[in-house]
Structures are given as structure tokens and as C-alpha cells.
Amino acid sequence: MVTTEPIALVQNSNQIQGYRPKLIEFYGYEGEDFHHFQELLYSYHMLSNAHSDNRKLAILKSQLRRAAKIYFEKTILKDHPQNYELEFNDMIQGEQEHPQIFLSRLREAADLANITTEAVIKSRFRAGLLRDIKQFYIQSSGT
């Protein structure tokens, strides 16, 4: 005799608890589905317990690429120069970076942070140089 009772499928609760939607990158190009990106981002925030605005902003910034990232930084973040000022104050020279390139990056960051004082830029430049280059700079300039 064959029974025709319904079969119940049970999902392992561990599989559900560890689920996070896969975030996609958003480039801001024509034809991209922003609403789909927004829904995935919102779901990710909810499932990963990202409640603070700073955490949500960091997640959003990490997923933006090219045109979308440029627009976001130039338009959305321009009203928050304190974020750029914090980044400016943490800038250091890269291991293989020429000091002139580092100074150019500092000037660009200062512009975004609305820092116009040349003394502040120069001070950050000296503080952010690699140790050997900083020692050479101090010895050769006397300042």
C-alpha cells in the first residue's frame, strides 16, 4: 500500500540566518536598473543589521563605481566637507609614490574639504611624507 501523505520540506535555519543578498556594483550608466540596486542595498542593510548612517554610507560608497561614484562625491558629499577634512588629515604618502604626486593628491583633497590655507596643506604634506623622505626634506630645507 502506497501512502499519499504530503511531504514537508524543512529548511535548515542556519542556512537562512547566514543569508545575505549579493550586492551589485552600480556604475550609473544608462540602462542600469537603479531601483533594483536600491532594493538590494536596502535588503543588505536590513539583513546585516546596518543601522548607523555611517555604516550605511560606507556600504553605499563601496558599491558605487565610475560615473555614479564621481556624481556621489561631487554632488552628494559636497555638502559634508567635514568627511573630506577627516580624510585629508589621515593622508600619507604611498610607498612607491613620488612626493609631487602625494602633494597633488593633498591639494585635490584640500579642495574637496574646502581647505584653502597653504600652511595647512604644507603641514599635512610634511607630516604625511615617508620617514626617509621627511628626514631628507627637513635636512635640505631647514624647516
Whether the full predicted model's pTM is greater than 0.75, yes or no, is: no
In a domain, 7, yes or no: no
The per-residue pLDDT for 142 is 57
pLDDT score at 14: 46
Taking the C-alpha atoms of residue 50 and residue 27, their distance in angstroms, rounded to an integer, is: 23
- Both 107 and 138 in one domain: the answer is yes
Report yes or no on 8 lying in a domain. no
Question: How many distinct structural domains can be found in the chain?
Answer: 2
Looking at the structure, do residues 106 and 93 belong to the same domain, yes or no? yes
- Radius of gyration from C-alpha coordinates of the chain: 24
* pLDDT per residue of the chain (143 residues) written in tens, 0 to 9: 555 666 555 555 445 555 556 778 888 888 888 888 888 888 888 888 888 877 888 888 888 888 888 888 777 766 666 777 888 888 888 888 889 988 988 998 888 788 889 999 999 998 999 998 888 877 887 55
Task: Compute how many other C-beta atoms are within 10 angstroms of the C-beta atom of residue 64.
Answer: 19
pLDDT value of position 13: 47
72, 100: one domain: no
**Which of 43, 58, 79 is the endpoint of a domain?**
79
- Domain containing residue 75: 13-79
Task: Look at residues 59, 79, 99 and tell me which one is the last residue of a structural domain.
Answer: 79
Distance of CA 36 to the CA centre of its chain: 21
In a domain, 3, yes or no: no
The answer to whether position 2 is within a domain reads no
Q: Please indicate, yes or no, whether residues 68 and 21 belong to a single structural domain of this protein.
A: yes
* Residue 118 forms part of a structural domain: yes
Q: Which amino acid is at 62?
A: S
Q: What is the CATH number of the domain that holds 127?
A: 1.10.1200
